[in-house]
């Protein structure tokens, strides 16, 4: 090979080196692309119930007019937004200063199987008498059924009475429950206490 050929081959080799150096295996991912396992999305929040869905369900459950239910639901939606589930059931309670309450119902969530729930708890206050009532409990920020199985204290000053229905709030660990009771069954505002929700019935409420 003559001198001219050697010079031309050397120049071609030098020109090719920058292009090869640009092919780096550790180059960052393009914008908008997941970069390894950390690109996975988190779990989706539980779907919620609309105002119309709950007004119809509660009206049928208690056998009262939709107008009475609508006013109370509007108040609860204004305070808490849209619920992710609800418990429909029955309970019995009795009190003479110190009271006890026991109940059983079914927890409904849109993308979860129906779950049986029991609740029980004590109360203390200016309260006397006994009753049995139907209870429809709205569940806010409940993302999966098992999260309801804990103790929920009542929230002072949170009782509402509209159209023969009464509701109050119970809160624990960012979850809010709003039990709605009809007629003489609500007995709210005169006592303080808590309800413990469980998978099985517990005779001892503490």
Examine residue 140 and state whether it is found in any structural domain, yes or no.
yes
Residue 77's H or E segment, with its range, is: helix 66-80
Asked if 127 and 152 sit in the same domain, the reply is: yes
- Enumerate helices (H) and strands (E) in the chain, giving the number of each: 3, 8
Say what the pLDDT of residue 32 is.
40
Q: Which of 19-23, 38-42, 58-62, 109-113 holds the top average pLDDT?
A: 109-113
Say what the pLDDT of residue 42 is.
60
Say what the pLDDT of residue 189 is.
45
* Domain that includes residue 102, residue range: 51-198
Those residues whose C-beta lies under 8 Å from the C-beta of residue 147, and which sit 6 or more positions away, are 173, 175
Asked if 168 and 99 sit in the same domain, the reply is: yes
The pTM score is 0.72
The two three-digit tokens of residue 90, written as one number: 């029955």
Using alpha carbons, select from 84, 102, 115, 114 the residue that is nearest to residue 178: 84
Instruction: Give the span between the Cα atoms of 67 and 50, in whole angstroms.
Output: 16
Residue with the bigger pLDDT between 147 and 28: it is 147
What's the number of domains the chain is made of? 2
Instruction: Kindly report, residue by residue over 154-205, the tens digit of the pLDDT.
Output: 875 567 677 778 888 999 999 999 999 886 544 444 456 789 999 998 877 6
Q: Tell me, what DSSP letter sits at residue 26?
A: T
Instruction: Kindly report, residue by residue over 48-98, the tens digit of the pLDDT.
Output: 999 999 999 999 999 888 887 888 899 999 999 999 999 999 988 765 556
Contact 166, 181 (CB under 8 A): yes
Instruction: Kindly report, residue by residue over 98-150, the tens digit of the pLDDT.
Output: 668 899 999 999 999 999 999 998 866 555 556 678 999 999 999 999 999 99
Examine residue 206 and state whether it is found in any structural domain, yes or no.
no
CB count, 10 Å around CB of 188?
17
Asked if 144 and 182 sit in the same domain, the reply is: yes
Residue 79 CB burial class (10 angstroms; 0-12, 13-18, ≥19):
middle
């Amino acid at each position: 090979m003559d001198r001219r050929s050697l010079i031309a081959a050397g120049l071609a080799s030098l020109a090719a080196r920058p292009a090869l150096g640009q092919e780096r295996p550790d180059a960052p991912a393009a914008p908008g692309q997941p970069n390894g396992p950390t690109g996975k999305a988190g779990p989706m929040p539980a779907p919620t119930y609309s105002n119309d869905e709950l007004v119809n369900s509660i009206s049928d459950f208690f056998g009262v007019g939709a107008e009475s239910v609508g006013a109370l639901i509007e108040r609860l939606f204004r305070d808490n937004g849209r619920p992710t589930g609800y418990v429909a059931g029955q309970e019995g309670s009795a009190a003479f200063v110190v009271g006890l309450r026991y109940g059983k119902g079914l927890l409904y969530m849109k993308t979860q199987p129906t779950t049986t729930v029991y609740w029980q708890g004590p109360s203390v206050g200016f309260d006397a008498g006994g009753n049995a009532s139907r209870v429809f409990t709205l569940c806010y920020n409940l993302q999966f059924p098992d999260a309801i199985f804990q103790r929920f204290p009542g929230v002072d000053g949170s009782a509402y009475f509209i159209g023969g229905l009464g509701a109050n709030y119970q809160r624990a660990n960012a979850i809010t429950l709003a039990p709605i009771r009809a007629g003489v069954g609500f007995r709210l505002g005169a006592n303080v206490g808590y309800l413990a929700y469980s998978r099985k019935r517990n005779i001892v409420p503490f």
